[in-house]
Chains A and B, each alone.
Chain A
Amino acid sequence: MPTTKTTYRKEDIWNLLSEVMDPEIPVLSIIDLGIARDVTITDANKVLIRITPTYSGCPAMKAIEDDISNKLRLNGIQHFDIKKDFSETWTTDWIPEEAKQKLKEYGIAPPGKTDSSDDFLSSLRTSGRSVPCPYCDSNNTKIQSKFGSTACKAQYYCQSCDEPFEHFKCI
C-alpha cells in the first residue's frame, strides 16, 4: 500500500492526470484530449476533478473514471471526487498540435480545425475536406465510412499507398 498523502499541490494532480491514457487511444492522455477539465483542492484537502466526455454516449467514461481513481490511490491520494460534466461542448480544437502529431504517428489522421462557418445546411451539398493519409501524406484518400471503431473516429482508405486508416473526426 502506498503511504497516504494529505498535502499535495494542483500541479501534482495535473502531473498524475497526464499519465492517465485514453483507453481507446493509448498514445494520448486525458489532458491531451481535453477530457480532464479542471482540478480544485478544497480547504479540507479534498481533490475535485471534473471530466467531460468527447461524445455524449462515450462508453469509455467509466473506464477513464476508474483509471483516474486508480492512479490517485496508487499515489497515496484517497480523498477525491470525480465529477462527470455532460454539459460542456467538447471540441477537437482542444487537442493541442503536439497531441495531433502523436495521433498521426500512431496511424490516426488527426482532426483539422473545425469549420467556423455557420452554414451547415448548404455544406450538406458539398463533400467534406480531404483527409491526408497519416502514413504517406497523400491527399488521394477516400472515406469508407463516416463512423468507425469508436464514436470519435471515421474510416478512410489511402488510394496512393493502399492503406486503410482511421481519421479522428473533426467536431
Chain B
Amino acid sequence: MQKKKLVEMYRMMLLIRRFEERAAQMYGMQKITGFCHLYIGQEAVGVGAIAALRPDDYFISAYRDHGHILAKGTDPKPVMAELFGKATGISKGKGGSMHLFDVEKGYMGGHGIVAGQIPLATGMGFAIKYKKEDKVVVCSFGEGAVHQGSFHESLNLAKLWKLPVIYLIENNRYGMGTPLERASAIWDLSQKAESYDMARATVDGMDVLKVYDVVAEAADRARKNGEPTLIEARTYRFRGHSMSDPVHSHYRTKEEVEEQKKKDPLIIIKDKLLKDKVLTPATVKELEAEIKKIVLESADFAENSPVPPLEAVYEDVYAP
C-alpha cells in the first residue's frame, strides 16, 4: 500500500479518536444532549472499510456513527455542530448524534433502530444493479443486529438478486449490556452467511490494515460479480454503550476493559507505521498537533453557530 494511504488511515483514526474525546467533554458540559454513542476502540473497522472503497461508494451504519461520517470525508465542523444541535449541523440540527448524513459524500446515515439500515443498504445495492452502476454499498451494524429479521431478510435478498452489498458486523462484544454469549446461539457470526450461500470472512477489527484487505476483496467481488459478502470484524468499545453507560459496569470488569485496551487499534497501526518507518515520532507529533487544531476548531464552530430557527421545525417534513 502507498505510504500516503497508510498515513491517511492513521490520521483519520486519530481524528475520530480526538474528535470523540472532545465530544465526550462537550457532553459532560451539556453542550451535547440525548443519546451519544462513542466509537472509541472501534476506529479501525470504519476507517479500514471506507479506505477500501471508492469515494462514490455508499456507506451506511447505525447510531454509533461519528467515526463513519468522518471517515467518509465529511468536514468535522458540521458534524460537531450537529451533535450540538446547531443550524450549521450536517443534518441542520434535526438529526443529532444518531442521525448524521452526508449524501454528497455517500454517507447514507446514521440510523437509530437496530438493523433498520440493513434493508436500506440492500435497496441501495438493488438500485446500483438497476441503474447498472459500478458502485458498492458497505452496511455496518453491531453484532446485536444479527438477530433481527431485517438482517436475515436482507441477506437472502442480496444473495438471491446478486446485489453489490457488503454487510459488515462490527462485533464489539456487547449489545448495550448484553454480551454476545447471552444473545447468540453461535459465536462465529459470519457463519450466518452460510444459510444464504454467501461469501464470508472474519477479521481482526483492531487492525485497520486487515480490515482494509478483507473489505477490498469483498468490494472487488461485489463490483465484478454482484456478490454480497458478510464480514465479522471483531472489535471492542472502550467506552460505555452510550454516554449514560459507565465504561465498566456490572456487565464487564475494569480488568477486561484494560486488557482490551492493550489492543488499541490506534497504537497497533502507529507502532506498525513507526516500525516500518512510514511515520517518525516527529511526524506523529505533527499529526497530533494538526488533529488537535481541527478538533478544537470544530468545537468552536459548533459553539459559535446559531441554534435552528423555530420556523425550521416544519421544514423538510415533505419534499416539494
Please determine whether chains A and B interact with each other in the same assembly: no
